[in-house]
Amino acid sequence: SQTWLVVPAAGQGRRMGADKPKQYLRLADQPILLHTLARLHDAFPDARLVLCLDDDDHWFAPQWVPFNDWQRVPGGCERMDSVLNALHAIEAQDDDIVLVHDVARPCITACDLHALYQAVATHPGGALLAMPVADTMKRADAQGLSARTEPRDGLWHALTPQGFRYALLRRALETARHQNTLVTDEASAVEALGERPQLVSGRRDNLKVTHPDDLALAAAIMTAQIDHTPA
Ligand code: CTP
Ligand code: MG
């Protein structure tokens, strides 16, 4: 069966505060979007790519897409609307695997991508890359005073990619939209249906470029990853 890669890339990057959306900022001389697509292509050269892009996007260049088989779909108001546009645009089989990956995570590795894919293939509720919380977690009151310490046990950071069978993911996101619940990742929509996505412990350097100082961090991560690739 077919594997689909959905890459939401229709965000404005407001927290970055740059003169263009963050996916077009340069990292090691290439736009972030190009890094992300290249790494997805290295891991899944035969997958079909669906790229969610804003209609007003005048920075995107199709020559940055390494996939033979790809299509562009319009972004929506929220990330979940962009992903739903992608799911509605494709003719997928119910049990096709769909991986959703933020364009803003260019440090994703082939190793994590393959581990995630294996988990998606074997778990009916799908799977997501995640990272156990390392810091002590505080619950603040409205004044910003620490009210208590939350037990850290069993707490994870949700990363991407997140992957599911097409029919489940589509039903989950359509349900969230009908119920007007704003979900910030696919897994929360799937959990709301009573399914249990598998958490796959991923690398700690799968950073989402969000704030201006993340650019230097992402560049350092890429250098370190390349230095550690066996020759
Ligand atoms: N995204 C999208 N459509 C939207 C909003 C976000 O496709 N309507 C994408 C972004 O391009 C990004 C991913 O979803 O790849 C995660 O979103 P986020 O990190 O929040 O990016 P932005 O929304 O661009 O940044 P900000 O929230 O700071 O504006
Ligand atoms: Mg956003």
Provide the pLDDT confidence category of residue 184 given band limits of 50, 70 and 90.
very high
Q: Is the pLDDT of residue 187 over 80?
A: yes
**The CATH number of the domain where 158 resides is what?**
3.90.550.10
**Interatomic CA distance for residues 113 and 127, integer angstroms:** 11
Average pLDDT over residues 192-214: 97
Beta strands in the chain (DSSP E): 3-8, 26-27, 30-31, 48-53, 70-74, 97-100, 127-132, 137-140, 146-150, 156-165, 198-201
Render pLDDT for 12-34 as a digit per residue (tens, 0 to 9).
999 999 999 999 999 999 999 99
User: Is residue 103 lining ligand 1, measured as CB closer than 6 Å?
Assistant: yes
Provide the pLDDT confidence category of residue 226 given band limits of 50, 70 and 90.
confident
Measure 22 CA to ligand 1 centroid, in angstroms: 9
Expressed in angstroms, the distance from the first to the final Cα of the chain is 34
pLDDT of residue 209: 98
Domain that holds residue 125: 3-227
85: Cβ contacts below 8 Å, ≥ 6 apart: 52, 73, 74, 75, 76
| CA separation, residue 75 to residues 87, 115, 152 (Å) | 12, 28, 35
Provide the pLDDT confidence category of residue 230 given band limits of 50, 70 and 90.
low
- Atom in ligand 1 nearest the alpha carbon of residue 104: 15
pLDDT of residue 29: 92
Average pLDDT over residues 5-17: 98
Mean pLDDT taken over the chain: 96
Residue 158: strand pairing partners: 130
- pTM attached to this predicted model: 0.97
Measure 15 CA to ligand 2 centroid, in angstroms: 8
User: Is residue 76 lining ligand 1, measured as CB closer than 6 Å?
Assistant: yes
pLDDT of residue 231: 57
**Interatomic CA distance for residues 112 and 34, integer angstroms:** 19
3-state secondary structure of 6: strand
Q: What is the DSSP string of 94-155?
A: TT-EEEE--TT-TT--HHHHHHHHHHHHH-TT-EEEEEE--SPEEEE-TTS-EEEEEP-TT-
The answer to whether the CB of 158 falls within 8 A of the CB of 88 is no
Average pLDDT over residues 57-65: 97
pLDDT of residue 228: 76
The answer to whether the CB of 220 falls within 8 A of the CB of 213 is no
Please state the domain count of the chain.
1
8: Cβ contacts below 8 Å, ≥ 6 apart: 52, 75, 79, 82, 83, 86, 100, 102, 103
User: Looking up tokens 């799908």, which residue turns up?
Assistant: 126
Measure 145 CA to ligand 1 centroid, in angstroms: 30
User: Is residue 160 lining ligand 1, measured as CB closer than 6 Å?
Assistant: no
pLDDT of residue 210: 98
Q: What amino acid occupies position 145?
A: L
| Cα radius of gyration rounded to whole Å, the chain | 18
Task: Given the cut 0.90, state whether the ipTM is greater than it.
Answer: yes
Provide the pLDDT confidence category of residue 42 given band limits of 50, 70 and 90.
very high
The answer to whether the CB of 99 falls within 8 A of the CB of 6 is yes
Q: Which of 79, 83, 84, 214 to mutate to test the pocket of ligand 1 (most atoms within 8 A of CB)?
A: 79
Q: Is the pLDDT of residue 171 over 60?
A: yes
Q: Which ligand is nearest to the CA of 8?
A: 1
Q: Is the pLDDT of residue 61 over 70?
A: yes
